[in-house]
Chains A and B, each alone.
Chain A
Amino acid sequence: MTNPNPVSGSPDKEPATEAQEARGEARATPTAPAGDTERQVPATATKQPAAGEPRPSLGKLFLDNLWAANTVTVTVLAVVLAMLVGAVLIIVSDPEVLATYSYITARPADALNASWTVVSEAYANLFKGAIFDPDAVGFTAVMGPISETLTYTAPLVFTGLSVALAFRGGLFNIGAQGQATIGVILAAVAGFALPLPPGVHLLVALIAGALGGALWGFIPGILKARTGAHEVINTIMLNYVAIYFLSWIIIQGGVQNPDRADAISKPVDSSAQLPRLLGDNLRVHAGILLAVLATWFIAWLLNRSTLGFELRAVGENPDAARTAGISVTKTYVLVMATAGLLAGLGGSNMVLGSTANALTPLVIAQIGFDGILVALLGRVRPWGVLLAALLFGALQAGGNRMQSYSGISLELVTVLQALIVIFIAAPALVKAIFQLRAARAARLQTSLAKGW
């Protein structure tokens, strides 16, 4: 790892140097001339060309930036593309609309009208279910969609942050699902088993959930640090352990709800539940506030703390970090434990909030796996994760309405999410389709690929 001993052939070194060269070559053309002008010309002369050029207007700058392949543009366009492909799927999956296509040459207007109706109605319902319904009357109805969106968003922020944080530290945390599962178990047990006063009870339950997740992240972290065991394999395996542990513990005495025969635990005491923010009729709860707080904290941790500096250095180049005196193994353990802690909090949200108040085998749904998508969609940046989680939350909330009002299956919403992620994960595709100028997006992609 540290011995570039060329006489011996150093087999483990070759792939790295080749990869470096590949990257170097990609950059060679633009940087070589620029680097060279700097070399010879004194500092004052280099500034002249910039001063000589007329300053472009603000509007032009804005348009230029908009159309340059920056992450925001690519993300928005990826969503647009996904919705277009989604529209085709909606049309194809509706037999009535499809029927109009059998005589499209005779009466094209029929087919187009029918398609437009079904697609626009579906997306309108998506919008109404997720953000705002113009026909709604009364506070509850008006705020309902937002409340639903935020309710779905909160846990995804935590799991998304979990995956993103690990990613920045150079680790691929596939285990958010398992960490959230252990988190939800401990939070729920603390929530119904401990007789504590309100407030304290909630705090204890949250801490229990967080610690459970942290433990489940610590295990693959320490295995990676001590033995080099790959975290992807270990986190996947620990997911199974956690999920089946949940199934088992629900039906144990003292946990299972004595009034029920099916697999469901006792309900969490109301003293341990996250307070609802907009009254009892709306589901949105304090989890979303915790999520924003966590986002802010992780953003600070990554960019403004010594710990984050270590984490990023280890993530980008563990060899250089080690040489500079940073303990790579300690950082790996810390990263995984913190990632687990976040996922554990996400799991706690599922049982301490309004989504459910008791453990069931599917209590946390797919928040751990969705967290991977959220993290990638958010470009593994904390505030990006928050926005991505909002989008996923909105798709979920809107999808529910789309299903009940337009008769479009919830699976299609899942397909939409998948499409968005595919387009996001392939910025080159989006750029090629929209002919965007190359900018930062390509570089970001390489950072995404590095996790492996």
Chain B
Amino acid sequence: MEPGEIHALLGENGAGKSTLMNVLYGLYQPDEGEILVDGKPLKLKGPSDAIAAGIGMVHQHFMLVPVFTVAENVMLGAEQVRGPFAGILDRRRARREVAEVSERYNLRVDPDAVIEDLPVGIQQRVEIVKALTRDVDLLILDEPTAVLTPQETEELLTVMRSLKAAGKSIVFITHKLGEVKAIADRITVIRRGKTVGTAEPSASRDELAALMVGRSVRLTVDKKPAEPGKPILEIAGLVVDDDRQVRAVDGIDLTVRAGEVLGVAGVQGNGQTELIEAIMGLRPTLAGTVSLDGEVVNGWSTKKVLRAGVGYVPEDRSVDGLVKEFSVAENLVLDIYDRPPFGKGLSLKPDAIGKSAKERIEQFDIRTSSADAAVGTLSGGNQQKVIVARELSRPLKLFIAAQPTRGVDVGSIEFIHSRVIRERDIGTAVMVVSSELDEVIGLADRIAVMYRGRIIGIVGPDTPREEIGLLMAGITPDTATPTADSPANEDEA
């Protein structure tokens, strides 16, 4: 690492990126080898040693106390005290430090804001500020963009550039090729715990992807033109609230036909999650109708919706998609365990479940030590394949995939995409919701852009990215000015 350099560490899920960085941050002890800082070997016993050596880390999942303010979080672990009796927290000084750092690096944060009220992008900024107040020279960002919206990502990249200008070195861990090309000065690709190559940012996406997975992959999806049939999913005037009783879906009309892929694009948090949960019977609808193949399904239980021939890949697989402690085989029947041949009356048929699991593992190329292994031990991509395998193993009328490839390695993305298209080709109506614009463009036959709970436009897949991007920000071509009551950027401010 050179001072003032942004070094991207690129690799698939489970390639060892995070492990390497955890060693660097002193969380894990190396079995062999050593770390050199300024030419001197460094022995790290814990994160405090790393901080002392000028290494700071922003974890993939933030290490913040949600009910504390920004300033309190920043001083956490290095609390300053004042007064005659040690023990009075010097909040003023912490706030001053936060203000100073925000000023110097142009990282706008309010020191008195409570963490849980802040959007994810700002929380991440707090993490960066926290690291910077510790006077670090080397900042490790572990998959910082995984949780960010495109705009927030853009802002983060700006922050990284200004940090670089201030002479800080940054290790940027990711598996997103676009970001790497946009920001990195040098790229190191890691595969199976080994460095397999370094590359310049000028290298093409395909070259980088090939280095990452060790073979060439297709990032675009090959598909025939769609042959849309009759409407399967029809949504009319749907209104749904989110968990905080705030209107999330505000009068949506949408139709998905058999044999087509409808992509739903949009910055996360514009009602996509609630829309899908309402279709699945996981969230009450306040107005409007959802019909499946001509039948109104509002108010149906999730089980009934699933049984009516709907396949569903939830967006947060570790929370909603899988029971991590359950075996692969059990997860593969999570929604059909009580149907023949897996269950009859009250009893389960473990033989049938095991046999079907073996077939699915084969068909869907799930890399697992056995069908009985706990699903939590699988890599992210293979966990996602388990869900996809489960949902595509029964005859479907409608297949809904939310963020089907989030946090999934390139090889699995390719596989999952081809499965989605295959499902379309056999005449299933497919709805793909994704905040990755590339994914939506690659898969969809029609793209519906959601903004603030409404469909702001439905366009073809050949529409220029920029135009869709503008739609995602709430700007329609006709008006060329922000629609609705307020501009999109106010959300982030």
* Complex contact A320–B319 (CB within 8 A): yes
Task: Tell me which residues across on chain A come within 8 A of B458, comparing CB atoms.
Answer: none
In this complex, the member of A1, A21, A25, A324 whose beta carbon has the largest number of chain B beta carbons within 10 angstroms is A324
Q: Is the interface of B mostly helix, strand, loop or mixed?
A: loop
| Sample (13) of A-B pairs whose CB atoms are under 8 Å apart | A3-B248, A6-B148, A7-B267, A7-B269, A9-B119, A9-B120, A20-B61, A32-B14, A35-B14, A306-B347, A309-B330, A313-B323, A326-B303
* Complex contact B322–A317 (CB within 8 A): yes
Q: 10 closest pairs, A vs B, by CB?
A: A11-B116, A325-B303, A7-B269, A6-B120, A324-B335, A36-B192, A306-B338, A324-B334, A323-B320, A306-B343
Task: Tell me which residues across on chain A come within 8 A of B12, comparing CB atoms.
Answer: 39
Measured in the bound complex, the distance between the Cα atoms of B66 and A313 in whole Å is 29
Beyond contacts A6-B120, A28-B18, A35-B382: 8 other A-B pairs, Cβ-Cβ < 8 A, are A7-B491, A25-B27, A36-B15, A39-B14, A39-B367, A39-B379, A304-B348, A321-B323
Q: Is the interface of A mostly helix, strand, loop or mixed?
A: helix
In this complex, the member of B66, B118, B242 whose beta carbon has the largest number of chain A beta carbons within 10 angstroms is B66
Task: Tell me which residues across on chain B come within 8 A of A35, comparing CB atoms.
Answer: 14, 367, 378-379, 382
Q: Is A38 an interface residue (CB 8 A)?
A: yes
Q: Is A53 an interface residue (CB 8 A)?
A: no
Q: Say which one of B40-48, B277-285, B426-434, B473-481 lies at the interface with A.
A: B277-285
* Complex contact A1–B243 (CB within 8 A): yes
Q: Is A407 an interface residue (CB 8 A)?
A: no
What is the minimal beta-carbon distance from A18 to any residue of chain B, in angstroms? 6
* Complex contact B325–A447 (CB within 8 A): yes
* Complex contact A325–B335 (CB within 8 A): yes
* Complex contact A18–B63 (CB within 8 A): yes
Task: Tell me which residues across on chain B come within 8 A of A1, comparing CB atoms.
Answer: 243
Chain B interface residue bracket vs A: 35 or more
The chain B residue with its CB closest to the CB of A15 is: B66
Task: Tell me which residues across on chain B come within 8 A of A14, comparing CB atoms.
Answer: 62, 64, 66, 116
Given A21-B61, A25-B27, A325-B306, A4 and B316 contact (CB-CB distance below 8 Å): yes
* Complex contact B19–A5 (CB within 8 A): no
Partner of B326, one of A31, A312, A323: A312
- Measured CB to CB, the residues of A under 8 A from B are 1-11, 14-18, 20-21, 23, 25, 27-29, 31-40, 303-310, 312-313, 316-317, 319-327, 447
Task: Tell me which residues across on chain B come within 8 A of A34, comparing CB atoms.
Answer: 369
Q: Is B73 an interface residue (CB 8 A)?
A: no
In this complex, the member of A28, A306, A323 whose beta carbon has the largest number of chain B beta carbons within 10 angstroms is A323
Task: Tell me which residues across on chain A come within 8 A of B59, comparing CB atoms.
Answer: 21
Q: Is B312 an interface residue (CB 8 A)?
A: yes
* Complex contact A309–B348 (CB within 8 A): yes
Q: Is B263 an interface residue (CB 8 A)?
A: no
Interface residues as binary, B229-262 with A (CB distance below 8 Å gives 1, 0 otherwise)? 0000000000000111000100000000000000
The chain B residue with its CB closest to the CB of A38 is: B367
Measured in the bound complex, the distance between the Cα atoms of B62 and A9 in whole Å is 12
Interface residues as binary, B88-129 with A (CB distance below 8 Å gives 1, 0 otherwise)? 000000000000000000000000000111111001000000
Partner of A40, one of B192, B305, B382: B192
Measured in the bound complex, the distance between the Cα atoms of B29 and A29 in whole Å is 11
What is the minimal beta-carbon distance from A40 to any residue of chain B, in angstroms? 6
* Complex contact A6–B319 (CB within 8 A): no
Partner of B346, one of A15, A306, A326: A306
The chain B residue with its CB closest to the CB of A33 is: B193
What is the minimal beta-carbon distance from B346 to any residue of chain A, in angstroms? 5
* Complex contact B243–A7 (CB within 8 A): no
* Complex contact A316–B326 (CB within 8 A): yes
The chain B residue with its CB closest to the CB of A317 is: B323
What is the minimal beta-carbon distance from B251 to any residue of chain A, in angstroms? 19
* Complex contact A37–B18 (CB within 8 A): no
* Complex contact B303–A327 (CB within 8 A): yes
Task: Tell me which residues across on chain A come within 8 A of B19, comparing CB atoms.
Answer: 28-29, 32
Partner of A2, one of B28, B64, B282, B382: B282
The chain B residue with its CB closest to the CB of A18 is: B61
